Amino acid sequence: RYMKNINKITIMNICSTILLQGIAFFSAPIFTRLLGAEQYGYYSIFSSWSALLTCIMGFGVGSTLATGKYRFRDVYYEFRSSILLFGTLLSLIVSGIILLIIRPLSYVLGYEPWSIVLVLLSSISQYVIGFAQGVYVYEKEARKNFILSVVISILSVVWSVLLILSFSESKRYMGRIYGFLIPHILAAFFVWCTIFLKKPIGLKKRYIQFAFIVGFPTIFHTLAHS
């Protein structure tokens, strides 16, 4: 029965990957046609900055879920909630620092301040979703991971198309950004509450100390990968 469950989880994870890649493959020509090369490039830059900043959000604490599941086996749900809260607070602190210098930063980068705010919202929501996906993988909840990934991908495509068509031709890339951002923010809020409220707890020193020491070096790995 154990092997049957493992096979089922493996098959669902493979199907999830294939389906997500299929959605990305078939939706790309739609967006390039709707946006054109220049505006598609604007969205690609937004997406790249979001991906890079997501690596910093949470300071890598989500990467400690696997080891923490065994190290804190008897209090795992406490550990999970505590480091989720810790990672979220770290993300808000990073965002707060960026917002304090948003004017000079926007001047140096050549972006409007509001676009930097959107990147921050995207990065925080992607950090939370990544944390949730880590939870589902290490807890062998392949079905939840599958549903979360597919629902976000489909909603992102559908909302993006609808919003792109509602914007003026010169601002259609904003429809793609908002179409990506809204499902991610809603999903992040939902999974955050679901995970944290399973065993709500504040910051516990032994959990956050372990998560920070083990997780922080992974920032450089994820940044290098990106």
pLDDT digits (tens, 9 = 90+) for 132-141: 999 998 888 8
pLDDT tens digit sequence for 21-35: 778 788 888 899 999
Highest mean pLDDT out of 89-93, 134-138, 165-169:
89-93
Instruction: Give the SS3 label for residue 204.
Output: coil
Q: Which helix (H) or strand (E) holds 100?
A: helix 76-100
Cα–Cα distances (Å) from 157 to 6, 120, 182, 211, in that order, read 31, 21, 11, 35
- Residue 199 is classified by DSSP as S
Which of 20-34, 99-113, 167-181 has the least mean pLDDT? 20-34
